[in-house]
Amino acid sequence: ILLYESLLLDILNGYYEFPHTINAIIIIIVSGTIITIIIIIIIIIIIIIITIIIITIIIITIIIIIITTIIIIIFVIITSTVIIIMIIIIIITIIIIIIIIIISIIIIIIIIIIIINIIIIIVISIEFVIVSPIIIFIVKYNKHITCA
In tens, the pLDDT along 112-127 reads: 888 888 788 777 777 7
pLDDT classification of 81: cutoffs 50, 70, 90: low
Residue 144, pLDDT above cutoff 70 = no
4-54 pLDDT tens trace: 666 666 666 666 555 666 676 777 777 777 777 887 788 888 888 888 888
Give helix 132-141 / helix 2-13 axis angle, nearest 10°: 20
Residue 133 · residue 22 · CB < 8 Å = no
CA distance 137 to 24: 11
The whole-angstrom separation of Cα 84 and Cα 79 is 9
Please name the amino acid found at residue 74. I
DSSP annotation of 16 reads S
Rounded Cα–Cα distance for residues 87 and 108 (Å): 32
pTM assigned to the model: 0.42
Share of the chain above pLDDT 90, in %: 0
Show Cβ contacts of residue 85 under 8 Å, excluding neighbours closer than 6 positions: 72, 75, 76
Q: Compute the half-sphere exposure of residue 72: CA atoms within 13 Å on the CB side of its CA.
A: 18
